[in-house]
Structure 1
Amino acid sequence: MRAIRFDHTGGPEVLTLGEVPVPEPKAGEILVRNQAIGINFIDTYHRTGLYPVKLPSGIGMEGAGLVEAVGEGVTRFVPGDLAAYASGPIGAYAEFHVGAAERAVKLPAGVSAQVGAAVLLKGMTAEFLIRRCYPVQAGQTVLIHAAAGGVGQILVQWAKILGATVIATVGSDDKAARAKALGADHVILYRDQAVAAEVRKLTGGAGVPVVYDSVGAATFEGSLGALARRGMLVSYGNASGPAPAIEPGRLSRMGSLYLTRPTLFDYVATTAELDESAGALFGLIAAGKIEVEIGQTFPLDQARAAHEALESRATVGASLLIP
């Protein structure tokens, strides 16, 4: 099968297309013939070495397609099922992918492989952030960075479903229009406006109880400055580089703030948690309450171009590789 590999860390140029054997499912595993592959920032973290992996390595965590074969003892799937996965093992940028059956989910009727691959990792990330990491309540005002991105778009829509007022940050007028179309009440152009100052204006000086920040280094100080007393900064990504180290006393001096750096995999650690998270997500999609935008697709052999687009923030919504 064709698969994207890399044998040393670095920029998008380290990604190469090669031929490798089709894996065989072991006990408890399924083999999926990928129809679509999700592209996520975590893939760039593996490629650059920010999140170390054993080299040489495949790349990619998310995909969806038809179950081709099942290993011994698997009852959760049968061949022909449409399945999606987002929990590894690494190596989804390929025509086939093998993984634990208990870490994959069936796609319900009406959810295609492309939508499944575009939304599972991003959508479950949004679910745990907004329902469990910091449970947003009706009437609260929240700040969502990168609101036109894959996770950001879902966060905006989910926050509105919960009855929150949404302040969104984006990098361009086009992305501002997209965030507003999804329900954002206020949009800040972070390249032109001081985020913390704008948030204070919009909240009568109070700040917000929670900031969802996937950008990292470039937005960290503004995020802290936008928080209300006892507010929480949920730093869940590093699109501009890792957030800087912080001395704990600063959190005290700035209003007894909270800082957390969560990861999806600690919130879907069990199969029951995985199914509940995916079920909540697919329920809202099926009800027409969450729109999934597939902003761009790339052939498998253009994984390098896909990473270049993602890291330059030129993408909108979700990006897919098509085998």
Structure 2
Amino acid sequence: MDKAVTLLAPGGIEQLQVSEQQPQEPGANEIRIRHDAIGMNFLDIYHRRGLYALPAYPAVLGVEGAGTVEAVGSAVTRLKPGDRVAYAGAPVGAYAATRLLPAARAVLLPDGVPSKVAAASMLKGLTAYMLLTKTYRVEPGTTVLIHAAAGGLGSILVRWAKYLGATVIGTVSSEEKADLARSYGADHLTIGRDADVVAAVKRLTDSRGVDVAYDGIGGGMLAKSIAAVRPFGVVATIGQAGGPIPPVSVDELRPGKSLTHPSVMVYITDTAAYLTAAEAVVGMQASGITSTIAREYPLEAAAEAQQFLEEGRAAGSLILVP
């Protein structure tokens, strides 16, 4: 019997229960994947808390993973048993040793990309692709502000932004995380949760401000991100790890700043967009632009791993290993 981690109802980590399951037979357009590794994201926390409600409970959380195709449906021709694949996006169900997955979500992995790296980096890589190419097109000469620059998403954003020729200003909470962010290529850093981010950005940009800020912290940081962006620059709010996002007055956006709230889960519901982005992400993974794996947990320890992630202590990505 295989293992799965089931969310009984929205709430705390006590709502996560380890259970046994039988491998299921795929439908016509599905595959069954046996996970080598399962990626963890703050989205999993939001699902567990009920901030983003799931269609029904009990439910198996998780939106990304990597492993080996075990079985394919009768209409699947692109994939075969034994193929190494990764995926990200809906439907949820990754916190399990095996799962059924729409075949269209699976992306073949080259030999040079380990499953654990792919599982830790797929959704975050897709988010980085969306932010750097769709939300605001980053190119040589662009100056970006990346919050949590040593985190799972931040580590990819820093590396990819540098690959595109940008100047990167990052924020981190500790000297330890600062060392990591520097190793990823960050040009400048503000260190500490109480650091004056706006003053630092103004100093580093000759009072101009950054072209674009990526804010996954939320809470009171969003106002600071808006203040740190140049006139007609862009702020992308992509999460609220630091607390709920307060209302924003349009007066805060003077003169001509733009505030956007992109959703990678919505973006990749379009299969063609998803596959284009996923191919770019796998290519970046092959070149070394990946999320750093901070910790590995056995699947049965998903509750402990979620608590660690929720506390904001992870310098990189967490993965579950069945």
Q: TM-score range by the shorter chain?
A: over 0.9
1:19 and 2:24 are equivalent in the alignment: no
Deviation at 1:291, TM superposition (A): 4.4
| Per-residue deviation, residues 80-139 of structure 1 (Å, max 9, x unmatched) | 101111113111101101111111211112112111101111111111111111111211
- Which residue of 2 is the match for residue 41 of structure 1? 42
Counterpart of 2:92 (choices 90, 93, 97) is 90
Q: Which residue of 2 aligns with 1:283?
A: 283
Residues 197-206 or 272-281, more deviating: 272-281
Report SS of the residue matched to 1:276: helix
Specify the alignment match of 1:307 in structure 2: 306
Tell me the distance in 2 between the aligned counterparts of 1:168 and 1:11.
Answer: 31
- CA separation of 1:188 and 1:314: change in aligned 2, threshold 3 A: same
Distance 1:11 1:224 in 2: 32
2:33 aligned residue: 32
The gaps in structure 2 that reach 5 residues or longer are none
Instruction: Please tell me the residue identity of whatever aligns with 1:322.
Output: V
Question: Which of 151, 155, 158 pairs up with 2:157?
Answer: 155
Identity of aligned residues (%): 46
Kindly provide the amino acid, as one letter, of the partner of residue 303 in structure 1: A
CA distance in 2, matches of 1:14, 1:189: 35
Tell me the residue number matched to 1:296. 295
Whole-Å separation in 1 of the counterparts to 2:222 and 2:310: 18
Task: Choose 5-14 or 67-76, whichever is displaced more.
Answer: 5-14
Q: What residue is the counterpart of 1:229 in the other structure?
A: 231
Alpha-carbon contact 2:236-2:262 (below 8 Å) kept? yes
Deviation at 1:197, TM superposition (A): 1.6
Superposed, 1:60-209 pairs within 5 Å as: 60-209=62-211
SS in 1 for 2:294: strand
**Shift in Å, 1:263:** 1.1
1:246 aligns with 2:248: yes
The Cα offsets for residues 26-62 of structure 1, whole Å up to 9 and x where unpaired, read as 1111100111000111000000001011211111111
CA distance in 2, matches of 1:74, 1:274: 18
Whichever residue aligns with residue 204 of structure 1, its letter is: D
What is the CA-CA distance between 1:282 and the residue it aligns to? 2.1
* 2:117/2:290 contact within 8 Å kept: no
What secondary structure sits across from 1:191 in the alignment?
Answer: coil
Given the alignment of the two structures, is residue 214 of structure 1 paired with residue 211 of structure 2, yes or no? no
Task: Give CA-to-partner distance per residue, 1:251-295, whole Å, 9 cap, x none.
Answer: 2xx32111111111333233332222122122223234x244211
Deviates more, 1:37-46 or 1:103-112: 103-112
SS at match of 2:51: coil
Deviates more, 1:36-45 or 1:261-270: 261-270
Contact 1:67 1:79 in 2 (8 A): yes
- Is contact 2:220–2:246 with CA below 8 Å preserved after alignment? no
Q: Measure the CA separation in 2 of the matches of 1:217 and 1:147.
A: 17
CA RMSD, Structure 1 to Structure 2 (Å): 1.3
Name the CA shift for 1:176/1:50 in 2 (closer, same or farther; >3 Å).
same
Distance 2:312 2:154 in 1: 13
1:136-181 deviation per Cα after TM superposition (whole angstroms, max 9, x unaligned): 1211211000111111001001111111110000111000111011
Query: Contact 2:5/2:17 (CA < 8 Å) preserved in 1?
Result: yes
Return the letter of the residue paired with 1:16: Q
Question: Matched residues in 1 for 2:104 and 2:251: separation?
Answer: 42
Mapped partners of 1:167, 1:266: distance in 2: 28
User: In the alignment, is the contact (CA less than 8 A) between 1:33 and 1:66 conserved in 2?
Assistant: yes
Confirm or deny: 8 A CA contact 1:39 1:62 kept in the other structure: yes
Counterpart Cα distance in 2 of 1:285 and 1:111: 7
Give the Cα separation in 1 of the matches to 2:132 and 2:178: 21
Contact 1:88 1:99 in 2 (8 A): no
Count of matched residue pairs: 320
Whether the 8 Å contact between 2:170 and 2:189 is mirrored in structure 1 is yes
Q: Secondary structure at the match of 1:124?
A: helix
Kindly indicate whether the alpha-carbon contact (under 8 Å) linking 2:8 and 2:17 is maintained by their aligned counterparts in 1.
no
Task: Give the TM-score taking structure 1 as reference length.
Answer: 0.95
Q: CA deviation at 1:186?
A: 0.5
Which residue in 1 is equivalent to 2:267?
267
SS at match of 1:211: strand
